[in-house]
Amino acid sequence: MTERVIAQGTFDILHPGHLHYLRDAAALGDELHVIVARRENVTHKAKPVLPDRQRRDMVDALSVVTEAHLGHTDDIFVPIERIRPDVIVLGHDQHHDPEGIRAALDARGIDCEVTRASAREPEYEGELLSTGRIIDRVLEQRGPPPEAPDDPNT
């Protein structure tokens, strides 16, 4: 029997922390399905910079991923019902409450384990493991974009 695993997240700017999370998740089964959150559903942090499809395509290109899916616009459990996982792996620092997710899965008749991936510490000085920190570094080193002129003919 194939063990299906789901990981999920925003995956705005891919970095080593994402890869660690997905490798951790993939190690728990035979197939890794990744649900990429739609921009409109991201409410717990800044909205993604990159478009939904681009983020999904980048995650799907990773060899550790069997298939990447965009999340549902109205109900985050719709893709989970379709994939029917054996395990859902949450990122080590994701805001989701595992007990709340288990209760919602039980209410929908989905029997699967919910666990968390391990944390990954930077392996060398300056390694960035967060999209927010990458964006901060870009702004710090390159500064804010120049103001656009009001008159496009200038």
Query: What residues are designated binding site for ATP?
Result: 10-11, 15-18, 93
**Range 63-89 burial, b when 16+ CB lie within 10 A, else e:** eebbebbebbeeebeebbeebebbbbb
- Residue 6's SS3 state is strand
Instruction: Count other C-beta atoms under 10 Å from residue 42's C-beta.
Output: 15
Report the alpha-carbon distance of residue 130 to residue 146 in Å, rounded: 25
CA–CA dist 131, 141 (Å, integer): 15
CA 98 centroid distance within chain:
16
Structure-block tokens of residue 116: 């968390």
Single out the residue of 62, 59, 81 nearest to residue 72, CA to CA: 81
